[in-house]
Amino acid sequence: MGREMMDCFQWQSHASEFIDGSLGEPLGRLAEAHLDGCKECKEHHQHYRLILTSIAGQARKPLPAPLRAAPLSAILPRPELARSRWERIPWYLRTTLEGMSIVLVILIGISAGPRVRRLYERSIEKSLSEFSETFSVSDSSKTDASLPLVPVGATAGAAGDEFSGESEEDVSAEEDDSVETDGDIRVGSSEIWRFNLRTDSPDELIADVSQVFKDLHVAADAGALGGLKIPGGIQFDLLVNKNIVPGLKRSLQKIAPKSSEISAMSPTGETFTWYRIKSRRKIPPGKTRVVIWLSQI
């Protein structure tokens, strides 16, 4: 008895053949019976019939007479809808232009490569110099840190030899050169000596540095003799006579921690470095600015 009934799903499955009238006799009769009882499927059936009538009723376009007469030689109007302006250019011109463009791009790439690299290297150098200025001149507002560093020594060993080889007469001669004669502030007319001591405990070195100042008879009004604690270490910013700089350098080198002690902690392995930088800042004649930086590793 179950076979005598057709449900909506079965009717949908056979709808295409049912509409064509090609459904076999038992199935066709069951589909008819289902349509009589199912309003929804009857509606679908009517819709399908309407759609198929619309498709069958579409106007048939006959083959145009010129095309029928000469199917392969008749001149056809080119459909411009789907073709861009670029595609309408003859292929030989198009491919030539494309090839030349590719070659041009490659040549530009080749010629621009070194320039880009140079620019990149320049920017790296600039950022490096900014970095070193930031760390070497903590009080940049006072010293015009934009000026280039003029290192006269770099490490405790090599630079120390160079420095120690320099007699005090040389220093005084240099002192004479750097004295402003016409009162004009020029690049290099003033100088700042910077001594950097790397240590794992800057506080412990304060007493040693103070002792050095005492030994060298640094005037009490030379600056902050007790040091100034700032993030990353302790800084002494002093205005001293130029002739004590060599002695100060030697004394600081003595109190600097040994490289072997903290080389594992320091990325460069150096514990004592020094520089002399030029400054536009006006410094009284015979004086020089000394910045001692006890940096925390």
Partner 1 sequence: MKEAEAEVTPPVRPPAAPLDHFVQTYGDLLFDLSEAVLWNPLSAQLAFRSILKSIRSGRKRNAFETHERAWVLQIACERILGMVSRHARRVTIEELIELDAHGTVPARMKKFDAYFHRLPAQDQLLLLLKDKHGLPWSEIASALRSPEGSLKVRRQQALRTLEEWLWDAK
Among 1, 4, 39, 58, binds partner 1 (CB under 8 A): 58
Shortest spacing between CB 134 and partner 1, in angstroms: 57
Shortest spacing between CB 65 and partner 1, in angstroms: 11
Among 47, 126, 254, 282, binds partner 1 (CB under 8 A): 47
Kindly report the length of the chain: 297
Does 52 bind partner 1 (CB under 8 A)? Our answer is yes
Q: How far is CA 13 from the centre of its chain?
A: 63
Shortest spacing between CB 3 and partner 1, in angstroms: 22
Shortest spacing between CB 24 and partner 1, in angstroms: 14
Shortest spacing between CB 51 and partner 1, in angstroms: 5
Strand pairing category for 233-241 and 149-150: unpaired
Please give, one letter per residue, the 3-state secondary structure of 225-277. CCCEEECCEEEEEEEEEHHHHHHHHHHHHHHCCCHHHHCCCCCCCCCEEEEEE
How many other CB atoms sit within 10 Å of the CB of residue 153? 19
Shortest spacing between CB 93 and partner 1, in angstroms: 21
Which residues, including other chains, have CB under 8 Å from residue 3's CB and lie 6 or more apart?
none
Does 51 bind partner 1 (CB under 8 A)? Our answer is yes
Shortest spacing between CB 19 and partner 1, in angstroms: 8
Instruction: Tell me how far apart the alpha carbons of residues 221 and 105 are, in angstroms, rounded to a whole number.
Output: 67
* Residue closer to partner 1 (CB basis): 87 or 215: 87
Binders of partner 1: how many residues, by CB under 8 A? 30
* Residue closer to partner 1 (CB basis): 58 or 141: 58
Among 4, 21, 25, 63, binds partner 1 (CB under 8 A): 63
* Residue closer to partner 1 (CB basis): 1 or 72: 72
Contact assessment for residue 238 and residue 195, using Cβ atoms and an 8 Å cutoff: no
Which residues, including other chains, have CB under 8 Å from residue 58's CB and lie 6 or more apart?
none
Backbone angles phi, psi at 93, to 5 degrees: -70, -40
144 SS3 class: coil
What single-letter amino acid sits at 253?
Answer: Q
Among 2, 21, 24, 62, binds partner 1 (CB under 8 A): 62
Cα–Cα distances (Å) from 12 to 18, 20, 43, in that order, read 9, 13, 12
Does 56 bind partner 1 (CB under 8 A)? Our answer is yes
Shortest spacing between CB 92 and partner 1, in angstroms: 21
Binding residues among 71-90 for partner 1 as defined by CB under 8 A = 71-72, 76-79, 81-82
Max CA-CA distance within the chain?
128
Binding residues among 6-35 for partner 1 as defined by CB under 8 A = 12-13, 15-17
Which residues, including other chains, have CB under 8 Å from residue 296's CB and lie 6 or more apart?
199, 200, 202, 232, 233
Among 4, 24, 54, 93, binds partner 1 (CB under 8 A): 54
Among 44, 142, 281, 287, binds partner 1 (CB under 8 A): 44
Q: Which residues bind partner 1 (CB under 8 A)?
A: 12-13, 15-17, 44, 47-48, 50-52, 54-56, 58, 60-64, 67-68, 71-72, 76-79, 81-82
